[in-house]
Amino acid sequence: MSTTGTAGVFLDPPRTHLAAVVLRRTGSFLASLAATFIGLTAVTFFISRLTKIDPVLAVVGDKATKAAYDRAYEALGLGQSIFVQYFIYLRRLLGGDFGMSVLTARPVLSDLVRVFPATFELATIATIVGVLVGVPAGVLAAARQGRWPDHVIRVVGLFGYSVPVFWLGLVGLFVFYGKLGWVSGTGRLDVFFDDVVTPRTGVILIDSALDGNWEIFANAFSHLILPASILGYYSLAYIARMTRSFMIDQLSQEYVTAARIKGNSFWRAVWRHAFPNIMVPLITVIGLSYASLLEGAVLTETVFAWPGLGLYITNALFNSDMNAVLGGTVLVGAVFIGINQVCDLLYRLFDPRLRAT
C-alpha cells in the first residue's frame, strides 16, 4: 500500500467509492427499517385476530346497518386469505386509518396525535436530565475508577436497574407531594388551569411560555418535575453506565498518555481528548435511552395520571378498546424501532474504525 520515498503516503478513498458506500448503507438501512416495521405490524395484526371481537364491528361500530357491515366485510377482505387481509390492514395503517376508538368515539389516529405531546414532553425532559447528570457522572466514575466516586456512581446506577418505576413514582408522590409538599400531585396541571392555555404545540411548558402566562408555566413545571425526575433517574443510570464503560476504554489508550506528555492536565486530557472520542457511541446510547423511556412512560403516566400515550393505551386496555390499544402499540413500536434503527445506522456510519475502510 505504501510507495517508497520520503513523502509518505496518505490513504484517501476516492470520492465515487465513498458515495457508493453511503448509498449502499442507506439502502440496507431502509430495507431493514421496512422489514422491522412489517414484522411489528404482522404481530399487531396477529394480536388483533386473537381477540374474540369481530373485526368488522371494530371498524364500523355496532350500530352499523347490514349493508355497511357487508361493505366493510368486503373491504377488509375477510372472505379471502389471511395474507390479503394483512395487506389490507397494512395499507390502512399506512394511510393513517387506525380504526375508531370505542372509548372516545373518534379516530384512533386523532387521539394519538392529541396525547403524544404529553409523553414527548415527559420523555424529553427526562432525557435531558439523564444526559446532564449521567454523562459527567460516567466520566467521573471512569476517571476515578476503583475509588469512591466510582463506587457511589455504580451503586446509584445499579439501583436504577433494579427499582420498579411505578413503585418509585408512588414513593416519590408520597414523599415529595404527600409529606413535603414540594411538588404538585398527579396530572399535568391543577384542574382549574385546564384549557386556559392555547394549545399550539401541545407541550404546556412551551405553550404557556409563548403566551407569557408564567403562572401556568410554574404550575405545569411543578407537576412535571417529579415524573420527569423519576424517569430521568432511569435515563441517567443507563447513560452513566455506558459513558463509564466507553471512557474506561478510551482512558486506557496511548493517545491519552500522549496528551499528558504534551503537558495537558489530567482533566484536560479526559475532557478534551478522550471524551470527543466517545461522542458518537454516546449519541446512539442517548437515542436508545430515549426510546426506552417512551416505554417506561407507560407505567409512569399511570401512576401520575399523566394524559399521554401510555395512559391512553392502559385506559384503552381496561376498556377493551382493541383499536386504540393496537394503534398505540403500532405508534410506540414504530417510534421505538425508528430510533433503534437510526442509532444503529449512526453508529455504523460514524464508527471511527470503519472510517478508513
Partner 1 sequence: MSGALLVVEDLNVTFPGRTGATRAVRNASFTLGRERLGIVGESGSGKSTTGRALLGLIPRPGIVTARTMTYAGEDLLKCSERDWQRLRGRRMSMVLQDPKYSLNPVRTVGRQIAETCLLHLGTSHREAERRTLAMLEAVRIRNPEVVYHLHPHQLSGGMGQRVMIAMMLIAEPDLLIADEPTSALDVTVQNEVLRILDDLVSERGMGLIFISHNLTVVSSFCDRVLVMYGGRIVEEIAARDLHNARHPYTRALVASAPSLDEPRAKLATVTRDPAWLR
Partner 2 sequence: MSTALGQWLMSETPTSRRQAILGNAYRAVRAIVANPTALAGLVIVAVLVLMAVFAPLLALGKSPLDQDLAGRLAPPSAAHWFGTDELGRDIFARTLFGARVTLTIVLLVSVVVAPIGLAVGTVAGYLGGWVDTVLMRITDIFLAFPRLVLALAFAAALGPGIENAVIAISLTAWPAYARIARSETLAIAHSDFIQAVVLQGASTWRILFRHIVPLCLSSVIVRLTLDMAGIILTAAGLGFLGLGAQPPAAEWGAMVSSGRDVILDQWWVATIPGVAIFIVSLGFNLLGDGLRDVFDPKSA
Catalog residues that contact partner 2 under the rule CB under 8 A.
Answer: 32, 35-36, 39-40, 43-44, 47-48, 50-51, 158-159, 161-168, 170-171, 173-174, 178, 245, 248, 291, 294-296, 298-299, 302-303, 313-314, 316-318, 320, 322, 325-326, 328-329, 332-333, 336-337, 340-341
| Least distance (Å) between residue 277 CB and partner 1 | 5
Alpha-carbon gap, residue 193 to 210, rounded angstroms: 16
Helix (H, G, I), strand (E, B) or coil at 31: helix
Q: Look at the block and give the residue holding cell 463509564.
A: 244
| 3-state DSSP assignment of residue 86 | helix
Question: To which residue does cell 408520597 refer?
Answer: 174
Beta carbons within 10 angstroms of residue 136's beta carbon: 15
CB closer to partner 2 out of 206 and 337: 337
Q: How far is the CB of 81 from partner 2 (least distance, A)?
A: 21
CA–CA separation, 95 and 134 (whole Å): 40
For residue 8, which amino acid is it? G
Phi, psi of 60, rounded to the nearest 5 degrees: -95, -10
Give the residue with the Cβ less far from partner 1, 158 or 258.
258
- Give the range of 5-13, 163-171, 282-290, 302-310 binding partner 1 by CB under 8 A: 5-13
Question: What is the biggest distance separating any 2 CA atoms in the chain, rounded to whole angstroms?
Answer: 88
Of the two residues 151 and 262, which places its CB atom closer to partner 1 in the complex? 262
Stretch of 2-10, 50-58, 116-124, 300-308 lying at the interface with partner 1 (CB under 8 A): 2-10
**What residues from 7 to 46 belong to the interface with partner 1 (CB under 8 A)?**
7-12
- Nearest CB to partner 2, comparing residues 104 and 264: 104
Contact pattern for partner 1 over residues 199 through 228, marking x by CB under 8 A: ------------------------------
> Would you give the binding string for partner 1 spanning residues 250-289, x where CB under 8 A is met?
---xxx-xxxxxxxxxx------x--xx------------
SS3 category, 100 = strand
Residues sharing a CB contact under 8 Å with residue 59, sequence separation 6 or more, in sequence order: 72, 76, 99, 100
User: In the complex, what is the shortest distance from the CB of residue 266 to partner 1, in angstroms, rounded to a whole number?
Assistant: 7
Contacts 24+ apart (CB under 8 A), 193-197: 193/219
Backbone dihedral angles phi then psi of residue 100, each to the nearest 5 degrees: -100, 145
Interaction site with partner 1 (CB under 8 A): 1-2, 4, 6-12, 253-255, 257-266, 273, 276-277, 352, 355-356
